[in-house]
Amino acid sequence: MSQSESVTAAVLVIGDEILSGRTQDTNTNYIAKFLGALGIDLREARVVPDVEEEIVAALNALRARFTYVFTTGGIGPTHDDITADAVARAFGVGIDYHPEALAMLAARFANPADFNEMRKRMARIPFTAALVKNSASVAPGFHIGNVFVMAGVPMIMRAMLEDIAPTLKRGAIVHSATVQARIAEGRIAAGLAAIQRDFPELAIGSYPFYREDGFGVQLVARGRDAAKVETAAGAIEMLVRAEGAEPTRV
């Protein structure tokens, strides 16, 4: 697969609760791994507050640059759920109750009075968007242009990704191999740089760690050519041994 065919993505996390520190975002990490398994490269992630202009600006910046944008958060029934309106504005389209979404939500309530105005907000979908259904909630996400709008609740977001996955273009899978060693990264940094030069089509990363049982480093080779990843990992193991440490694959 040539560079020009690579499939890329960005994540846009929408929510004051992430920026206040109240909530640890885990959706970005989940989406990164999920897309990775489809050969789609996550290239950027942003977190913006529940402010319409901020959402619009970030969405327009990201959707112009990447194959896909995945948003999380802000599609519930409460006043602070403003993602659908912001997405409509970003695309310059109107927004109204979507008949199918209304019907899906209405079916959830035995007593029609329980399907109140605020709950109906969850059926407001930008014009031209298609619904993203899911197994975890009757409230849908939606898909407009190259943007997928998903819930912030991880369980629901994950179910939506399952609905979305079959519709996505896929790229070649990125393979990776990780060599761990109880060695300071400064000891093997020059050798590692040489390995990076030998394998320009791979990304060679070095990630030190500090744990109760001591420090060390994880050396990661990533790339679309599995054989080259394996060859580079072998070279990293030799480098570690040459410095007197024992490499382990993790």
Smallest gap from residue 43 Cβ to a second copy (A) = 6
In the shown chain, the binding pattern of residues 12 to 51 toward a second copy, with x for contact by CB under 8 A and - for none, equals: ----xxxxxxxxxxx-xxxxxx--x----xxxxxxxxxx-
Rounded CA-CA distance 195/236 in Å is 8
| CA nearest to 15, candidates 73, 75, 57, 56 | 73
Give the residue with the Cβ less far from a second copy, 76 or 126: 76
Give φ, ψ of 93 to 5 degrees.
Answer: -120, 165
The verdict on 192 binding a second copy (CB under 8 A) reads: yes
207-246 residues in contact with a second copy (CB under 8 A) are 207-210, 220, 222
Give φ, ψ of 45 to 5 degrees.
Answer: -135, 145
Those residues with Cβ within 8 angstroms of residue 198's Cβ, 6 or more apart along the chain or in another chain: 232, 235
Give the residue with the Cβ less far from a second copy, 52 or 130: 52
Question: Which part of the chain contacts a second copy (CB under 8 A), choosing from 85-93, 142-150, 200-208, 242-250?
Answer: 200-208
Smallest gap from residue 203 Cβ to a second copy (A) = 6
Rounded CA-CA distance 12/114 in Å is 32
248: Cα separation from own chain's centroid: 29
* Residues linked to residue 180 through DSSP beta bridges, in sequence order: 218, 248
Three-state secondary structure of 138-152:
CCCEEEECCEEEECC
The verdict on 103 binding a second copy (CB under 8 A) reads: no
Give the residue with the Cβ less far from a second copy, 109 or 127: 109
145-174 residues in contact with a second copy (CB under 8 A) are 153, 155-156, 174
Chain residues in the site for a second copy (CB under 8 A): 16-26, 28-33, 36, 41-50, 54, 76-81, 114, 116-119, 121, 153, 155-156, 174, 176, 185-187, 189-190, 192-193, 196, 203-210, 220, 222
